[in-house]
Amino acid sequence: MQVIADIAPLREQILQWRREGQRIAFVPTMGHLHDGHLTLVRKAREAADVVVVSIFVNPMQFEKADDLASYPRTMDEDLSKLNAEGVEIVFTPSVEVMYPNGMDQHTFVDVPGLSTILEGSSRPGHFKGVATVVSKLFNMVQPDVACFGEKDFQQLAVINKLVADLCLPIDIMPVATVREMDGLAMSSRNTRLTVDERQRAPVLSKTLRWISSQMRGGRTDYSELVLDGNDQLRAAGLEPDEIFIRDALTLQPITEQTTKAVVLAAAFLGQVRLIDNLTVDITPPTPSSSEEEEEEEE
């Protein structure tokens, strides 16, 4: 396994693989790897001949300096895990390599619409930072396929639109959320939970499952469902940040044409902000028998 920190040697190796006709898969990460990340790596291995993983904590996507400073950094452990997975290259650029002239005047990539709604509304500039760094990494690695987890549902939507709008020749492979045995979505931030918080954390996924079951049962009073979900979170000691019920394809409010919805949620547990989502197949409303009879009479 090669560990490369600069752009030139990375591109040199990529060019060699290209000449050999190798198919390249890419997994961008911010490190502090867990089984969710390693599942992405394994999916990447299935899709290509060689796998490149990046580890870079991107300052452009952090709104608060404290969050950036406290983000877990475990490079030695991460490299050991990736070596065990047989990864060919781990790209570990510094901030100076990624932003040699600083970020204030740096060219950025902004995906309109998707970047400023939902999670983007509560975290201004976050998705602009994500789209910019992913675009740079795509340009450096030039992969055939890139793997992203569905846990960050809106991020995946942003990346899909970015690739489509910029006509990038990259297949985006979504990978299902990897969960602990108790249902908690795996996240690098979970290690910051206290023992008591960790025991309560699965309530977030439990609440999502409850909302989803209500929707499958026919409930369409989405505002009330959100309020009920918030009550369940508070009862377990979590502080709700946001729950959205949206069309899974557009992330816009559900319409009569919606057949697949997504429930997106974020909640604070102590100092840790947890996120999760579930997709739900829903049936468009159909006229009741009485309505059909009235239509026939008319």
Mean pLDDT by 10 residues, the chain (298 residues): 97 97 97 95 97 96 85 94 98 96 92 92 91 97 97 96 97 96 93 94 97 94 96 96 95 94 96 94 61 45
pLDDT score at 291: 43
Strand order in the sheet with 171-175: 2-4, 89-91, 50-55, 24-29, 145-149, 171-175
Contact 150, 177 (CB under 8 A): yes
Q: Which residues are annotated as a binding site for (R)-pantoate?
A: 61, 155
What residues are annotated to the active site?
37
23-29-33-39 Cα dihedral, nearest 10 degrees: -40
Q: Report the alpha-carbon distance of residue 58 to residue 10 in Å, rounded.
A: 19
Q: Which domains does the chain have, with CATH numbers?
A: 2-175 (3.40.50.620), 188-281 (3.30.1300.10)
Q: Torsions phi, psi of 123, nearest 5?
A: -130, 75
Q: Report the alpha-carbon distance of residue 281 to residue 108 in Å, rounded.
A: 36
Q: Which residues are annotated as a binding site?
A: 30-37, 61, 149-152, 155, 178, 186-189
Contact 87, 147 (CB under 8 A): no
Sequence-distant (6+) residues with CB within 8 A of 20 are none
pLDDT score at 286: 54
